[in-house]
Structure 1
Amino acid sequence: MQKTVLVVEDEVLIAMDMQATLECLGWIVMGPTPTVKGALGLMDRELPAVAILDMNLGRELVTPVAEALRDREVPFLIASACVDPVALGGAVFEGVTNIGKPFNERGIATALAALDLPGLS
């Protein structure tokens, strides 16, 4: 399995920063995409090893993407300033690490390492 990460983020500058950070850490970035529809479309073509999701995507929540990832057994992280992701987006976010915003390279690297993803090349 490749070190692929799906990034779902609607703020262009944040998405670009996250992509650059992840690429520096050796990840292949899918996206970034700013919408639920875009994320689900990318997942239909290729499943990532992991995903990083913003909670609020304009006028929609990322919950359908989180549910699809869970159903396909793909781990994910949240990158959000949201204090209580479970209250906002539902039980699918229970126990999911929130790297917060603003994020930093060390926080992302630590959170990804904590997922202990086997078989990544």
Structure 2
Amino acid sequence: MSKQISPEIQILGNSKVLYFEGYIEVPADGVYTFYLSANAGGVLRIHESTVIDADYGYTRNSKMSGQYRLKAGLHPISLYYRSGKKGKPQFNLEWNGPTFAKEAIPESVLFH
């Protein structure tokens, strides 16, 4: 499995869409909280479950969160992000878990 993270970016009209599909490696069994803020909208899914739906009706730059119970190891993850029509695309994805405080999700735990 490659460590390279290379999301696909598409331009649709005046919006940009980023899509990442891969795996996240969690260090320990437990409940993980994920946090997403963006200047437009996005959706975070783990396995087949929607953890955060910040798409329709999302207030720009607000922070949304969702929890998911995971076992240690690799889990499929996907992130869809749609930028606004104006300005630079911006989003922030963070997490916390049973063995660490809230932090940006490091590249070292994402696999493509």
TM range (shorter): under 0.3
Higher relative contact order (CA 8 A, sep 6+): 2
TM-score (norm 2): 0.27
Which one has a larger percent helix, Structure 1 or Structure 2? Answer: 1
* Larger Rg, first or second structure (1 or 2): 2
Which one has a larger percent strand, Structure 1 or Structure 2? Answer: 2
